Structure 1
Amino acid sequence: MDHVIRVVRAEEWPLVKELRLAALRDPVAPVAFLETYEQGVTRSDEFWRDRALGASEDGNGEVRQFVAVAPDGRWDGSVTVLIERPDAQVRFGEAAETHQAHVVGVFLRPEARGRGLAEELFRAATEWAWSLDGPRIERVRLYVHEDNPRAAAFYRRIGFVPTGRTEPVPGDPSAREIECAVARPE
């Protein structure tokens, strides 16, 4: 693989912004993200600075954004991991019953798909979650829209299985997000 998989740096907020806006323009964005391009493009530079800082190694330690960086410096994909604790505020879905990680913001540029980058991003994200000190992370979860079969198939292929829990999609209670998870390896 010719890409480097690494954590974002706080000063890279313009690249964080550019990749997110590219994700929100993707044809599957309506079933992949809970934010629209119109919402993302109106966010201030301060928002993007805070987002990059929070997901960097200089952040609070509970969020990391991993990127796939091509040899020419272009960011071709990203995943973000949020650590969820039983006593913390719920970001989406049911409250954590155990210490867990939640993968969000999965995106690969169309021209980078099918080359193993998504697997590498997920490997880095889950390895980071499993490596944390403090209360042991017991599982990694994510949500996938019921109308996103390609993503659901990929998640199953890399070990995420439906837990039986679903959540209504914000803004469209007739649609469902399906929770999938992988347990910590022994």
Structure 2
Amino acid sequence: MLEPALIIRPTTDTDWREVRALRLEMLQDTPEAFGETFAAASAHPESEWRMRAARGMSATGASLVAIYQGEWAGTMGVFLPEDEDPMLVGVYVTPRFRGPQFGVADALLAGIEHWASTRGSSLTLHVHEVNARAQAYYRKRGFRVTGRTFPYALNARERELEMQKPL
């Protein structure tokens, strides 16, 4: 039996090297999309990466990876803030696997939405005000700007927009 071209699965602690490599790539590719710098992430010890990779799937969060023909192609996470609906975080697709021909982002989002739909009535995210590509993707998938903004974690003069999608 042939393995499917695209596999979506939760991460495990044994994935720590791949989780680290993908995180460092995403921080270099789109630094404004994440609340951590490349320098800070590069300094994390193995134990931190193992903890992040072990997030996989739990009652309070999920960390999914997309593997396209054996290569790590993207990731998305979700967590359940106290007394709030689920929050989408850590969204990234490596440039080589972007676009509808691969379906990586949509497959990851479907997995996250499935997890979130059992824990809330909507899915919320924060996106940097200058990240037009991400905002367009989210709008096409049913997310709408709520009107709420927040200071960007790495530069309080910049803003993140809140977007939300009913589940």
Which amino acid counterpart does residue 64 of structure 1 have in structure 2? A
Unaligned runs of 5+ in 1: 87-95
Q: Which residue of 2 aligns with 1:40?
A: 41
SS across alignment from 1:51: helix
Question: Among 157, 160, 168, which residue is 2:151 paired with?
Answer: 168
Q: Which residue of 1 aligns with 2:56?
A: 56
- Measured in 2, the distance between the counterparts of 1:47 and 1:171 equals 20
- Measured in 2, the distance between the counterparts of 1:168 and 1:47 equals 26
Q: Which residue of 2 aligns with 1:10?
A: 13
- Measured in 1, the distance between the counterparts of 2:140 and 2:24 equals 27
SS across alignment from 2:96: helix
Q: Which runs of 4+ in 1 moved over 3 A?
A: none
**Is contact 2:66–2:73 with CA below 8 Å preserved after alignment?**
yes
TM-score with structure 2 length normalisation? 0.91
User: Superposition RMSD on alpha carbons, in Å?
Assistant: 1.4
Match status 1:111 vs 2:96: yes
Pairs aligned (count): 162
1:8–1:171 CA distance, 2 compared to 1 (3 A): closer
Match status 1:120 vs 2:103: no
Q: Percent identity?
A: 34
CA displacement at 1:105 relative to structure 2: 0.7
Match status 1:137 vs 2:120: yes
TM-score with structure 1 length normalisation? 0.82
Any idea what the Cα deviations from partners look like across 1:100-150, whole Å, max 9, x if unmatched?
A: 11111111110100132111111110111113xxxx412111011111111
SS across alignment from 1:56: coil
- Measured in 2, the distance between the counterparts of 1:106 and 1:180 equals 14
Any idea what the Cα deviations from partners look like across 1:65-119, whole Å, max 9, x if unmatched?
A: 1111122x22110001111221xxxxxxxxx3xxx11111111110100132111
- Measured in 1, the distance between the counterparts of 2:64 and 2:164 equals 19
SS across alignment from 1:84: coil
